[in-house]
Amino acid sequence: MKKVKIIINKTELDKILNRLTKLIVKKYKDLNNLAIVGIHTNGVYLAQRIVEKIKQLTNKKIKLGYIDITFYRDDIGYRKNIQQPKDTQIDFNIDNKDILLIDDVLFTGRTVRAAMEQLLEIGRPKTISVLVLIDRGLRELPIYAEFVGKKIATTHKQQIELLLKETGGDDTVVIYTK
Amino acid sequence: MKILIKNGIVLDPEQDIEKKLDILIENGKITKIAEKINLKPNNLIINAKSYIVSPGLIDIHTHLREPGNEEEETIASGTIAAAAGGITSVFCMPNTQPPIDDQTSVEFVMLKAKSEGVVNVFPVGAITKNRQGEELTEIGELKKAGVVAISDDGEPISNSKIMRRALEYARMFDLTVISHCEDKLLTKGGVINEGRVSTLLGLRGMPKEAEEIMVMRDIILASLTLGKLHITHVSTKNSINFIRHAKQNGLQITCDVTPHHFTLSEDEIEKQPYNTNLKMNPPLRTHEDVKALIEAIKDDTVDCIASDHAPHTVEEKNKEFDLAPFGIIGLETLLPLSITYLYHKEKLPLKNIIKKLATNPARIFKLKDKGSLKIGYDADITIFDPYKEFVVKSFSSKSSNSPFIGWKLKGKVKYTICKGNIVFKDKNN
Amino acid sequence: MLRQEHKFIHKHLLELQSLSKEDIELILETARPFKTLFTRSIKKVPTLRGRTVVLLFYEPSTRTRTSFELAAKRLSADTVNIAVQTSSVQKGESLIDTAKTLESMKADFIVIRHFYSGAPYLLSQYVSSSIINAGDGFHEHPTQGLLDIFTIKEKKGKVKDLKVVIVGDILHSRVARSNLWGLTKLGAKVVLCGPPTLIPLDIDKIFPQVEIEYNLDKAIKNADVINILRVQFERQLEHLFPSVREYSLLYGMNKDRLKHAKNDVLILHPGPMNRGIEITTDIADGLHSVINEQVTNGIAVRMAILYLLSIANSKPKKELPK
| CB-based contact B50:B396 (threshold 8 Å) | no
What is the pLDDT confidence band of residue B217, given thresholds at 50, 70 and 90?
Answer: very high
pLDDT at C39: 85
Chain C interface with A: residues with Cβ < 8 Å: 1-2, 5-7, 26, 29-30, 32-34, 36, 40, 42, 44-48, 51, 75, 307, 310-317, 320-322
**Chain C interface mutation, best of B193, B196, B199, highest count of C Cβ atoms under 10 Å:** B199
- What CATH architecture does domain B2-52+377-425 belong to? Roll (2.30)
Range of the domain at C120: 21-141+296-312
List the alpha helices (DSSP H) in A41-109.
Answer: 42-58
Question: Residue B390 and residue C106: Cα distance in Å, rounded?
Answer: 41
Strand runs (DSSP E) across B194-249, as ranges?
A: 205-206, 229-231
What mean pLDDT comes out for the span A128-148?
94
Q: CB B202 to CB C121 under 8 A? A: no
Enclosing H/E stretch for C119: helix C119-126
Cα C148–chain centre separation: 7
Residues C146 and C286 in one domain: yes
**Nearest-CA neighbor of B176 among B360, B357, B380?**
B360
What mean pLDDT comes out for the span B286-309?
98
Cβ neighbors of A1 (< 8 A, separation 6 or more) are none
Output the pTM of the full model: 0.89
Residues C78 and C57 in one domain: yes
pLDDT at A86: 87
Collapsing DSSP to helix, strand or coil, C24 comes out as helix
The sign of the torsion formed by the CA atoms of B328, B422, B341, B58 equals positive
- C174-185 helix and C142-156 helix, angle to the nearest 10 degrees: 50
Domain limits, chain A: 16-73+86-153
C3 to chain A: closest CA residue: A167
pLDDT at A82: 73
What mean pLDDT comes out for the span B113-119?
96
Question: Residue A29 and residue C106: Cα distance in Å, rounded?
Answer: 54
Instruction: CATH number for A16-73+86-153: choose from 2.40.30.160, 3.40.50.920, 3.40.50.720, 3.40.50.2020.
Output: 3.40.50.2020
C321 falls within a domain: no
Q: How far is C265 from chain A (nearest CA, A)?
A: 28
List the alpha helices (DSSP H) in B65-102.
Answer: 75-84
Q: CB C33 to CB A77 under 8 A? A: no
Q: Is B308 one of the annotated active-site residues of the chain? A: yes
Neighbouring C-alpha atoms within 13 Å toward the C-beta of A89: 12
Question: Residue B287 and residue B264: Cα distance in Å, rounded?
Answer: 8
pLDDT at C314: 82
What mean pLDDT comes out for the span A60-85?
86
Between β-strands C52-57 and B120-125, what pairing exists: parallel, antiparallel or unpaired?
Answer: unpaired
Strand runs (DSSP E) across chain C, as ranges?
A: 52-57, 78-83, 109-114, 130-136, 163-167, 189-193, 211-213, 225-228, 266-268
What mean pLDDT comes out for the span B12-25?
96
Q: CB B203 to CB C122 under 8 A? A: no
**Among the options B59, B218, B256, B308, which is catalytic?**
B308
Q: How far is B128 from chain C (nearest CA, A)?
A: 29
Model pLDDT for residues C30-40, shown as the tens digit of each residue: 999 999 889 88
What mean pLDDT comes out for the span B231-237?
98
pLDDT at C322: 46
C44 falls within a domain: yes
C239: left (phi over 0), alpha (psi -120 to 50) or beta: left
- Measured between beta carbons, the chain A residues lying within 8 angstroms of C45 are 71-72, 118, 121
- Measured between beta carbons, the chain A residues lying within 8 angstroms of C106 are none
Q: CB C314 to CB A77 under 8 A? A: yes
Q: CB C29 to CB A84 under 8 A? A: yes
Q: Please, what are the averages of pLDDT over each run of 10 residues along chain C (322 residues)?
A: 69 97 95 90 89 92 94 96 65 79 91 94 92 96 98 97 97 96 98 96 95 96 96 81 92 94 96 93 95 96 96 70 48
Residues C189 and C80 in one domain: no
Please, what's the largest Cα pairwise distance for chain C?
Answer: 66
pLDDT at C4: 55
Question: Residue B42 and residue B21: Cα distance in Å, rounded?
Answer: 21
Q: Is B288 on the interface with C (CB under 8 A)?
A: no
Residues C238 and C303 in one domain: no
pLDDT at C82: 85
What is the pLDDT confidence band of residue B40, given thresholds at 50, 70 and 90?
Answer: confident
- Measured between beta carbons, the chain C residues lying within 8 angstroms of B273 are 118, 121
Q: CATH number of the domain that C109 lies in?
A: 3.40.50.1370
Residues C137 and C147 in one domain: no
Residues C65 and C148 in one domain: no
Q: What is the phi/psi pair of residue B59, to 5°?
A: -100, 110
Q: CB C140 to CB B202 under 8 A? A: yes
Over chain B, what is the mean pLDDT? Answer: 96
Domain limits, chain B: 2-52+377-425, 56-364
Q: Is A66 on the interface with C (CB under 8 A)?
A: no
Model pLDDT for residues A152-177, shown as the tens digit of each residue: 999 999 999 999 999 888 999 999 98
- Measured between beta carbons, the chain A residues lying within 8 angstroms of C26 are 84
ipTM confidence = 0.91
Peptide bond preceding C272: is omega within 30 degrees of 0, i.e. cis? yes
Whether A80 shows a pLDDT value over 80: the answer reads: no
Higher local confidence (pLDDT), B16 or C236: B16
Whether B386 shows a pLDDT value over 80: the answer reads: yes
Q: CB C116 to CB B200 under 8 A? A: no
Q: Is C89 on the interface with B (CB under 8 A)?
A: no
Query: In DSSP terms, which residues pair with B291 in a beta bridge?
Result: none
Nearest to B202 among C96, C117, C202 (CB): C117
Enclosing H/E stretch for B104: helix B103-116
Q: Note the CATH number of domain B56-364.
A: 3.20.20.140
Question: Residue C237 and residue B72: Cα distance in Å, rounded?
Answer: 36
Enclosing H/E stretch for B116: helix B103-116
pLDDT at C1: 34
Q: How many domains does chain C have?
A: 2
Nearest to C321 among A73, A86, A108 (CB): A108
Nearest to C45 among A72, A107, A138 (CB): A72
What mean pLDDT comes out for the span B97-112?
96
Nearest to B199 among C94, C121, C202 (CB): C202
pLDDT at B41: 81
How many Å from the N-terminal Cα to the C-terminal Cα in chain C? Answer: 14
Model pLDDT for residues B55-74, shown as the tens digit of each residue: 999 999 999 999 999 999 99
**Residues in chain A, overall count:** 178
Q: CB C118 to CB B273 under 8 A? A: yes
